Structure 1
Amino acid sequence: MAIDLAVDCYQLTRGFPKEEIYGLTTQIRRAASSIAANIAEGHGRELTGSFIQFLRISQGSLKELETHMLISHRIGLIDEGEFRQMTGKCDEIGRMIRALIRSLQEK
């Protein structure tokens, strides 16, 4: 799911203006990629505490991505439908990460 979100972000930002290549385009792509990468890295640590820490970092990257999406929407780089679709995916992934953290804490 997080990898799908990153792929969607890459596809979405292809249509951004060239002057945004070092601005929002890069910021969105890095934040989106970071979500999945931190989940994977935390899982690879094999320690519950480390995994939870990396899941929390993923949550931060998710909020960063949501902020970049809001800015992109407000300045007209993405339309209402794209904004709702992307933030809906962010919300779903956020719920999944929170549920996983709760589950790991109960162990």
Structure 2
Amino acid sequence: MEEFVPHFKFEKLKIWQKAMDFGEDVFDASKKFPKEELYNLTSQVRRAADSIALNIAEGSISQSYPEYKKFLGYSIRSLAEVVTCLYKALRRKYIDQEQFNELYAEAFHLMNMMHAFKSKLM
């Protein structure tokens, strides 16, 4: 079997890799949400978490830095949406304080990485 070799430039970006991991962590946490939340908070937090990496990838295809920055802005907004959903999940007792703290710390680290990356673009 051949070794997989990434060909897209976004696959090499640490922020994309971290966003991919964060999306999976949020997905796993949302599995514990009650069934009545499936089409509400569960769906919302999953879509927002996935949107972070999706927008990083989509922006990387752009030929201009302003366009790339726009997509990074979308990623940052999606991350803020996830954090708000996590607060909702904590208040509704779908996740405990420890899980919230872990996901919040990941989100904060990712936010800092995205802001730093965005500021380095021309």
TM-score norm. by structure 2 comes to: 0.84
Pairing 1:93–2:110 present: yes
- Give the letter aligned to residue 73 of structure 1: L
- Give the letter aligned to residue 99 of structure 2: E
Query: Residue 7 of structure 1 corresponds to which residue in structure 2?
Result: 24
**C-alpha RMSD of the superposition:** 0.7
CA separation in 1, counterparts of 2:70 and 2:57?
A: 12
Following TM superposition, by how much is the alpha carbon of 1:10 offset from its aligned partner in structure 2, in angstroms? 1.1
CA separation in 2, counterparts of 1:91 and 1:15?
A: 22
Show structure 1 runs of 5+ residues with no match.
Answer: none
61, 84, 87: which one aligns with 1:67:
84
- Give the letter aligned to residue 21 of structure 2: D
CA separation in 2, counterparts of 1:83 and 1:11?
A: 13
CA separation in 2, counterparts of 1:84 and 1:46?
A: 38
Q: Displaced runs of 4+ in structure 1, greater than 3 A?
A: none
Show structure 2 runs of 5+ residues with no match.
Answer: 1-17
Query: Residue 33 of structure 1 corresponds to which residue in structure 2?
Result: 50
Larger radius of gyration: 2
CA separation in 2, counterparts of 1:100 and 1:50?
A: 14
Following TM superposition, by how much is the alpha carbon of 1:12 offset from its aligned partner in structure 2, in angstroms? 0.9
TM-score norm. by structure 1 comes to: 0.95
Following TM superposition, by how much is the alpha carbon of 1:45 offset from its aligned partner in structure 2, in angstroms? 1.2
Query: Residue 49 of structure 1 corresponds to which residue in structure 2?
Result: 66
